[in-house]
Amino acid sequence: MKQHRVVVGLSGGVDSAVSALLLKEQGWDVVGVFMNNWEETDENGVCPAVDDWADVRAVCDKIDIPYYSVNFSKAYMEQVFELFLREYRAGRTPNPDVLCNREIKFKQFLELALQLEAEKMATGHFVRTDGDGHLLRGADPNKDQSYFLYMVKADQLKKAVFPVGGLTKAQVREIAERRGLPVSHKKDSTGVCFIGERNFKRFLQQYLPAQPGEMVTPEGQVVGRHDGLMYYTLGQRRGLGIGGCGDGRSWFVADKDLAANRLIVVQGEDHPMLYSREAICEDVTWVAEEPEQDRPFRCTCKYRYRQRDQEVEAIWRGGELHLTAMTPQRAVTPGQSAVLYQGERCLGGGIVREKR
């Protein structure tokens, strides 16, 4: 009896390793593929991909599956990283992980899986799907990654499986340890997908020239200097280098004046300029069905990963998504994703263009 083939994207981490293991135990013909999306070394001259590839080989040898390495770095540079830099030049704060899923994992990698005559592709994402291609939250609320997959369409999701989506992270590590996988205790990767844990400011300086300027209050009073608007995000408190002017209240980034190259800062985490109710989003993606045009509907929204769901009224109008939050939202940031939910189901979302 012929086995059904599945191609698993292996990162070198425990989640994708357990995904491959579970599929093998379920009787799939499993092929492991390591995606090399970034070839440059960090500030210490180390290429993290080298260690990750070694871990992938060790995992595949352990569970006895064939494996390959594929280089998507050119596509990543053109379709993800160049947009990432363009957004920072425009004073916005992009989320490259969302774009990586749309452009690399569920486009380039999915095409590769089909070329290898696979029926499905698989990743170690903590998400679930149903038979109709709807995207559902992962069972572990602390690890749910549906926020990062809202740009993936239903027809792509129907060709994907997520073996750890119904598990908790603790269960994944337990399975890895019990089966003797060499990455069972490997630390989770953090930070931006291609940057990792290196110094973000030094990394960005390699590609974008710094343009220092003034930090000012909304009234125009100069209170400090900034290193370049691209290094700051709305709501940021740490790293501003200005004291509390004697009253003990911290300073926060409230806005960016791109024309004057000024960073607008305010005192107090409850300052009105840090809050907004309305947001307009562009580059909108609906996972499955689009809502009716110009017809308001209630749902919940995450304006950033790990944020608790916020009640909103949404309107899909002329290619834009208009959101009105029921309570004021702190530090809604242009360039970040606003992702919509109805219960366990992720509806889709868009990139915040402006807030009001």
User: Smallest Cα–Cα separation from 204: which of 191, 213, 188?
Assistant: 191
Residue 267 CB neighbour total at 10 angstroms: 18
Instruction: Return all residues near 289 (Cβ < 8 A) that are at least 6 apart.
Output: none
By the 8 A CB rule, do 4 and 46 touch? Answer: no
Which helix (H) or strand (E) is 61 found in, with range?
A: helix 48-63
Tokens of 37: 């999306």
Residue 3 CB neighbour total at 10 angstroms: 10
Q: CA-CA distance, 333 to 356, in Å (whole number)?
A: 11
Burial class from Cβ neighbours inside 10 Å (0-12, 13-18, 19+) for residue 277 reads middle
Q: Which residue has the tokens 């998400």?
A: 127
By the 8 A CB rule, do 326 and 84 touch? Answer: no
- Contacts of 247-252 with CB under 8 Å at 24 or more apart are 251/215, 251/223
Active site residues: 100, 193
By the 8 A CB rule, do 129 and 157 touch? Answer: yes
Tokens of 130: 């149903």
User: Smallest Cα–Cα separation from 337: which of 113, 33, 98, 58?
Assistant: 98
Question: Helix, strand or coil for residue 112?
Answer: helix
